[in-house]
Amino acid sequence: MHVIKIGRNPGNDIIFQDLTVSGTHADIYVYDNGAIQIVDHSSNGTYVDQTYIHGATMDLTGNEMLTFPGQNCVSVAQLLAHYGIQQSAPQPYYQPAPQPVAPQPAAQPATTPATDRPARNFGGFSF
């Protein structure tokens, strides 16, 4: 897994000087299975293409443009290339849901031997 840290603080991988960018604004996670996510930690949010996220996590394909406060734009594909991260076919980070179990047939109601009708119970007496 690779993590690219973005923000104003000197310890980040991508550093913006703009005061509207948070010190630890966002992280981009690139997982071994090819999945990519952005996690926004900021005060002012981030645009992923035309979608605004704030304090949220979003799956990426690698083709997005990220816009940070102050109109600071970064291409996800260029970030990956800059850090030498090979982008494989993107997979969602989440694991697929387990397949549903086939429903079991409903139990058949008990029948009375004499009439072969469903048994009826009235106050403890069966007919």
How far apart (Å, rounded) are the C-alpha atoms in residues 15 and 44?
16
84: DSSP letter: T
The predicted-structure confidence for 24-42, as pLDDT tens digits, reads as follows 999 999 998 889 999 999 9
Number of domains composing the chain: 1
| CATH code for position 57 | 2.60.200.20
Count other Cβ atoms within 10 Å, centred on residue 16: 18
Alpha helix segments (H runs only) across 3-101: 76-82
In a domain, 94, yes or no: no
| Domain assignment of residue 58, given as a range | 2-82
What tens digit of pLDDT does each residue of 62-97 get?
Answer: 999 999 998 889 999 999 999 998 776 555 555 555
The pLDDT value recorded for residue 110 is 59
CA 70 – CA 86 distance, rounded (Å): 29
